[in-house]
Structure 1
Amino acid sequence: MQFIGIGPGDPGLLTLSAVKAIGRAQRIVIDDPDQKALLEAGEVALAPGAEIIEALSPLEVTEALITAAGRGLEVVRLVGGDPFLDGDVASEAAALAVADYDVDVIPGVSPMTAIPEYAGVTLNGHDAQLIGPDACLRDLDGRGGRWSSTGLIVVATTAARVGDVVRHAIDSGREQTEPAVITRNGGTTQQVSTTTTLEALPGAVTRAGDDEPVHVVIGHVLDDPQDDRLDWFESKPLFGWSVLIPRTRDHSATLPSRLQDYGAHSLDVPTISMEPPRTPQQMDKAIRGLVEGRYEWVVFTSANAVRAVREKLEGLGLDSRAYSGLRIAAIFDSTVKTLAQWGVKPDLVPEGEQSTAALAAVFPAFDDALDPINRVFVPRADIATESLSADLSGLGWEVEDVIGYRTVRAAPPPADTREAIKTGAFDAVVFTSSTTVRNLVGIAGKPHRHTVVAAIGPRTAETCEEHGLQVDVIAPEPEAISLADALADFAARRRDELLASGRPVVRPSQRKRRGRQPSR
């Protein structure tokens, strides 16, 4: 039984030990619905068949842990921040110990230190008092003590209690005019940090919900020129930008991850859906050949291809052991992750660029002295090209290129997403192919003229223009990272131009609706 600190919620702050433990777990117990998003992040791979249990009260959590441990399952309990600094898990750990179950703890990054760092506040070199949510409640309700009258104070509380925090700090000897920083949505791309004075803190959360968590830092060192705030996080070029990613299939996590590195948050909108082939006989024959040992390699170029084969195998009452003796090749992180969910690890994945060309470049040539079978099974979509098959044939393999699934235009996204697309609520849209352009316009309409349009290459840009979209960014290389980098460079230049002209720096979605301005 392991208690795992998951930090402020950014999957990039998970420790290696935490990622490994989550990947081994058969049962994962959470106490916050938002923790599900962390488990779906590209950095995290769940074990096949792992079950997620959502328990919303301490009693439910303890019962879920004891039940899972009693069944001999590998179980982990996710705790926001650090288990013992931020999470009240002592009673749960004690209950497990009384029941004679072993308890292990994996520390995590605490929001008490991480969020001030995200806000650019230097804690090192200063006397700092950390006051967590539970301690804050006790102190504000008169069940605790006074706070330090010197140095820094870091307080985790809610927006509704900020006024009480101010009064308690003043009662503890702090001056009303002391500098203070208050951070909302700390550590996320919606973070907002406001530098003000102690007495003016309540005015910084007037529009926040009462239960919204906030972090407050109070202390004279904040106005020391040597210790001024380093605004490294909120000054990222795409900070706070909402980016729409229309997609044609389960793509790699590279693009959203790179956009997040630049401070953006993204929303994927599927533009196609998967259906069985109209004539399934060829696929059925290939699956029988897979089971009977007809192939040396199976090559997966999408997560949908993995699912199509898995569905056929499960229909025959088989599991991942059907791949025994086969060699597996794959491209894209999403494909590898979908294989892992069924307990399959590919033998060959190209490094760097994820494309059929990159896979063909590292695929071994057929050697009749080493390879007992010369056939390769390539399940693919009906709209996919056969270029990979031609490349593999050139290496001496006999390739069976089989349509494993059909792609059809997806259903329209939810009404609120369609409205956001049309009204300019997204700051940018990134198109990774001409198909994404055509399908998005078909199912959701054209993005608003204020939305920055980024295309992965000239052909995609041409398709944008054919559909009446002005293209602002074209990636110099047709790769996801290059596309994200180009959008970030555009945003940085845009910010510099606005500053140089004396205009306020606002995101594209915040512009006044008075037509398209020359400088985006």
Structure 2
Amino acid sequence: MFPRRNDPSEESPGAAAAGAMNDGAPGAARPGIVYLVGAGPGDPGLLTLRGAELLATADVVLHDELVHTALLDRVREGADVRSVGKRGGDRVVKDAKQAEIDAELVALGLAGRSVVRLKGGDPFLFGRGSEEAEALARAGVPFEVVPGVCSPLGATAYAGISLTHRHIASSVMIVSGVTRAGRSFDWSELASVRGTICVLMGMQALDAVVAGLMGPGRRDPATPAAAIQWGTRADQRVVSSRLDELPRRVGEAGIESPAVIVVGAVTGLRDTLRWFDRKPLFGKRVLVTRPRHQARSTSRLVRLRGGEAVELPTIEIHPPPDPARVTEAVRSLSGYHAVVFTSENGVACFFKEFERLGLDARAFGPARLAAIGVGTAAALAARGVRADIVPREFRGEELAEAILADPALAERRAASPRVRVLLARALVAREVLPERLRAAGCEVDVVPVYETRPASAGRREELLRALSAGEIDVVLLTSSSTVDSLCDLLGEGAAARLDRVLLASIGPITTATAEKRGLRVGVTAEVSTTAGLLDALDRHFTALQAAPGSARSG
């Protein structure tokens, strides 16, 4: 039978969005326009759909220093990406830098480039986006504004603080702790405000901010207050106290800029409403060792669980040593009764040649398609075919048994001893799968469609620095090859260096490889997928939090 092709009407939202981002699409960035785009307060998942669309199609991206680096992964290949951050307390220097940014935006717009000015939070809320828009307007350069989730809204929501509440606060005031001239805000303007007050850019003068808020006829010193640093990010930190004690508590906790100060009775709801910092992976820095093209999806899953992904691939994917064999195998698909894939990388590399030859799903003919797990099956489905055979346990032994037990192949084997199997895999892999199939009488052609190699030696120093500085809490071991490459990269003493962090393995095979290298694995997934691995980590940290004597700070 022919492999089942995906129904085009079932196209995923992600695929539809990707199509909309092609150059020339209705929503793509257009030449000679500057887009002032709000990046949100920190969590890259809070970028708007319109912002993502523009990032994927713009010629030039100018971004603030505090923009999450994951957002820059959305920029199209070949685009010009420039950092124009200007943090610091020297107002003269910052004003001069802003003038340079204004001039650069104007020049790029007049040169006919499509430009995204990616700004933290919202462009028009204390972000000088309005000044940039004024400069563009004076020069006659068209511009558009794409609002973003501002830090008072994002940080408070992630901290479990509702800015308004039907029974507590019916208004919100957002103020800057300092004026453009560098003077303190005139707090007497807030004498009649009884709702919630959010203060931005007030941490460097926190004592003066608190004193101003507690001036004559203003806030009671016992008013609940909070300071939220790095709101919406995995390293978010929150300090709650009485208003008059906030400077002392902030100093003790080491809270610094960037932070939002929140004053009002609503902050007293935090213990009930907090959710983000109760996620099992909250605050954990997770080393993602997968190849770069796979690391992004893993990093996103880590962030959704409250952690911060640190991408440092320990292996690289390279073409196979004999590409002609891949070409021959693809052209001979009609002669096989089963085609077997043992990794997502194998699917991607096989189909690269598949597409180069201009083929589609019909080329598989009546062959049965087998995938070692749901991740590999999903990679096939994304390319228009569905796996016929997926074992319950994602191991070579189980895949061999599932292939041999497949009714269509069993019928074929009963009628004729000649059952041909194509195994598309890495150059170096476990031999258990082809050996078991051959032992059952199958003819197996093992065709390497890619080769894994250790990451470049230059990555060693980066990895050693991160480990020695305590910047890593968890290391994800997603395959035996990543384990070997990680140990080879660290060299002598690898086990001792990795003994300081939690090692989490995607499955028993990977764990066995790690133990052979002297590593101590703390978590092994029951389901050998990335999601299964992260679920196992969730359970591990949930159990730790539930243990007597454990507590979360904040």
| Both proteins in one fold, TM over 0.5 | yes
- C-alpha offsets along residues 62-104 of structure 1, whole Å, 9 cap, x if unaligned? 2221122112222221121111123212222122222222221
Whole-angstrom CA distance in 2 between matches of 1:468 and 1:324: 43
Aligned Cα root-mean-square deviation (Å): 4.2
Q: Is 2:223 the counterpart of 1:178?
A: yes
- Please, what TM-score do these two structures have when normalized by structure 2? 0.67
**Quick one: which amino acid aligns to residue 39 of structure 2?**
I
Partner of 2:485: 439
Q: Which of 53, 58, 61 is the aligned partner of 2:82?
A: 53
Counterpart position of 2:45? 12
| Partner in structure 2 of residue 512 of structure 1 | none
Q: CA deviation at 1:109?
A: 0.6
The structure 2 residue matched to 1:197, chosen from 239, 242, 261, is 242
Deviation at 1:129, TM superposition (A): 3.5
- How many angstroms does 1:356 deviate by? 6.7
Mapped partners of 2:453, 2:347: distance in 1: 10
2:474 equivalent in structure 1: 428
1:159 deviates by 2.9
2:506 partner letter: I
Residue in 1 that maps onto 2:376: 355
Q: Are the counterparts in 1 of residues 58 and 116 from structure 2 also a CA contact under 8 Å?
A: yes
What residue in structure 1 maps to residue 520 of structure 2? 470
Following TM superposition, by how much is the alpha carbon of 1:471 offset from its aligned partner in structure 2, in angstroms?
A: 2.7
CA, structure 1 residues 383+410, in 2 after alignment: closer, same or farther (shift >3 Å)? farther
Give 1 or 2: higher helix fraction: 2
Q: For the residues of structure 1 that align with 2:380 and 2:430, how far apart are their CA atoms?
A: 14
Q: Helix, strand or coil for the counterpart of 2:294? A: coil
Q: Deviations over 1:250-280 (max 9, x none)?
A: 3242322222112111222322346777788
- Is the Cα contact below 8 Å between 1:158 and 1:213 reproduced in 2? no
- Residue equivalent to 2:391: none
Alignment of 1:47-446 (within 5 A): 47-56=76-85, 57-125=97-165, 126-133=169-176, 136-137=178-179, 141-142=183-184, 144-149=186-191, 150-171=194-215, 173-206=218-251, 212-223=257-268, 229-247=272-290, 250-273=293-316, 302=345, 326=358, 353-355=374-376, 358-359=379-380, 362-363=384-385, 382-383=427-428, 407-408=453-454, 410-411=456-457, 413-415=459-461, 417-418=463-464, 420-421=466-467, 426-444=472-490, 445-446=494-495
Paired residue type of 1:181: A
Deviation at 1:468, TM superposition (A): 2.8
Q: Is the contact made by 2:164 and 2:266 (CA closer than 8 Å) also made in structure 1?
A: no
8 Å CA contact 2:41–2:149 kept in 1: the answer is yes
Distance 1:475 1:180 in 2: 42
CA-to-partner distance for each residue in 1:456-487, whole Å, 9 max, x for gaps?
11111112222333333221211101111110
- Structure 2 portions without partners, runs of 5+: 1-33, 86-96, 332-340, 362-370, 388-422, 438-444
Letter in 2 for 1:52: V
Q: Which residue of 467, 489, 494 maps to 2:539?
A: 489
Figure out how many residues of one structure are paired with residues of the other and give that number. 432
Gaps of 5+ in 1: 290-298, 311-322, 330-349, 366-377, 392-398, 508-520
- 1:115-145: CA deviations, max 9, x gaps? 1111111112324443343x64469825645
**Contact kept? 1:239, 1:263, Cα under 8 Å:** yes
Aligned partners of 1:252 and 1:6: how far apart in 2?
Answer: 22
Structure 1: distance between partners of 2:187 and 2:45: 36
Amino acid at match of 1:170: M
Would you say the 8 A contact 1:129–1:152 is kept in 2? yes
> What is the rounded CA distance, in whole Å, between the counterparts of 1:405 and 1:87 in structure 2?
47
C-alpha separation in 2, matches of 1:302 and 1:417: 24
**Mapped partners of 2:293, 2:254: distance in 1:** 35
Q: Deviations over 1:439-468 (max 9, x none)?
A: 212222125445322111111111222233
Deviates more, 1:263-272 or 1:273-282: 273-282
What is the percent sequence identity of the aligned residues? 29
Q: What's the TM-score, normalizing by structure 1? A: 0.71
